[in-house]
């Protein structure tokens, strides 16, 4: 029944757009994923949605250096990845086509500020839902379940899990949950914790022998390892739960509910799976969506 609705919306979008690109059948590569743009959307009581409607555009907070999740191609400027597609699906569900999304790159440490100031309408970028962050922002989701892991040099047999990091130099990102865990659990000595704004900087340090491990979510680390399997490997001992949420303004409950509805629909009608298979799933690890947790 849902599928019929989706097809009807796709046909409507096809007719309105006057071209034949919407609703192409079959498994499409990441750059060809597209979503029917909803018409006459209303989100009563949502200041965020009112702002989007007024502008006719969405300001979407993203990462740009996380392979498989959120990457910007340096030559074409195009954004691709699982998080990006989730964000585009939400935009379409709010009535905003992909060419009316403005991408705002926000590093981990600046997310709560960017969302609460209104610099972004919502944020999709490996953003773990937790109570501490909920004091400043809201979360729709989760739309993916990740876990903290370690990235090491491919020829290093000495690091096999979180208890083998003593006296090792460990790199992670400012304001992230993994760096907090490294410190709280004393996984290595405080002077051995190295901190940057972006994970790609940590990976450069690892390749240059300046650090011995990069720690963050397995989903992020697998993307880096896949790009350079000769030099990098993921240890594969997950030691936390990192449920990914869409960051939204804290007090806009109507908007949070709407994003939850769109995530729920994508998980039910197969869109989530289509997005996963075309992006993160290309690494070969199968996944299913976690249950949405409304609050």
**Nearest distance in Å: CB 243, ligand GLU:** 9
Torsion of CA 134, 136, 142, 145, to 10 degrees: -80
**Nearest distance in Å: CB 77, ligand GLU:** 22
Strands 148-153 and 213-217: antiparallel
Q: Does 126 bind ligand GLU (CB under 6 A)?
A: yes
Strands 70-72 and 170-173: unpaired
Q: Does 65 bind ligand GLU (CB under 6 A)?
A: no
Strands 101-105 and 58-62: parallel
92 or 115, CB closer to ligand GLU? 115
Which position among 48, 128, 260, 279 is part of the footprint of ligand GLU (CB under 6 A)? 128
64 or 177, CB closer to ligand GLU? 177
128 or 192, CB closer to ligand GLU? 128
Is the backbone peptide bond immediately before 142 cis, with ω within 30 degrees of 0? yes
Q: Is the separation of the CB atoms in 241 and 181 below 8 Å?
A: no
Stretches 86-94, 121-129, 230-238, 275-283: which one binds ligand GLU (CB under 6 A)?
Answer: 121-129
Handedness of CA 119, 121, 123, 129 (dihedral sign): positive
**Nearest distance in Å: CB 293, ligand GLU:** 16
Q: Is the separation of the CB atoms in 140 and 246 below 8 Å?
A: yes
Closest CA to 172 of 203, 147, 145: 203
Which position among 178, 223, 247, 289 is part of the footprint of ligand GLU (CB under 6 A)? 178
One character per residue 214-243, x = contact with ligand GLU (rule: CB under 6 A) = --xx------------------------x-
Compute the 3-state secondary structure of the chain and give helix, strand, coil in percent, each to the nearest 5: 40, 20, 40
62 or 94, CB closer to ligand GLU? 62
**Nearest distance in Å: CB 95, ligand GLU:** 28
Identify the DSSP state of 2.
H
| Binding residue count for ligand GLU, defined by CB under 6 A | 12
Binding footprint of ligand GLU on the chain (CB under 6 A): 108, 125-128, 173, 176-178, 216-217, 242
């Amino acid at each position: 029944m849902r599928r019929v609705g989706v097809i009807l919306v796709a046909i409507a979008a096809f007719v309105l757009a006057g071209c034949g690109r919407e609703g192409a059948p079959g498994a499409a590569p990441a750059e060809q994923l597209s979503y029917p743009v909803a018409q006459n959307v209303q989100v009563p009581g949502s200041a965020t949605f009112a702002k989007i409607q007024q502008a006719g555009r969405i300001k979407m907070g993203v990462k740009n250096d996380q392979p498989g999740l959120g990457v910007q191609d340096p030559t074409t400027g195009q954004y691709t990845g699982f998080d990006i597609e989730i964000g585009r699906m939400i935009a379409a569900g709010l009535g905003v086509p992909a060419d009316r999304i403005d991408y705002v790159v926000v590093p981990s440490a600046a997310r709560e500020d960017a969302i609460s100031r209104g610099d972004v309408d919502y944020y999709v970028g490996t953003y773990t839902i937790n109570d501490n962050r909920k004091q400043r922002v809201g979360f729709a989701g989760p739309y993916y379940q990740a876990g903290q892991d370690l990235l090491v040099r491919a020829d290093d047999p000495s690091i096999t899990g979180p208890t083998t990091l003593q006296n090792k130099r460990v790199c992670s990102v400012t304001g992230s949950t993994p760096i907090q865990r490294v410190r709280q659990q004393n996984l290595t000595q405080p002077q051995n914790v190295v901190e940057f704004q972006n994970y790609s900087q940590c990976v450069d340090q690892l390749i240059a022998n300046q650090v011995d491990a990069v720690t963050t979510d397995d989903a992020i680390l697998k993307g880096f390892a896949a790009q350079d399997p000769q030099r990098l490997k993921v240890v594969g001992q997950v030691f936390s739960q990192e449920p990914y949420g869409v960051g939204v303004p804290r007090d806009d409950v109507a908007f949070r509910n709407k994003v939850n509805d769109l995530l729920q629909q994508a998980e039910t009608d197969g869109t989530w799976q289509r997005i996963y298979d075309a992006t993160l799933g290309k690494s070969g690890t199968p996944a299913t969506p976690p249950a949405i947790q409304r609050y």
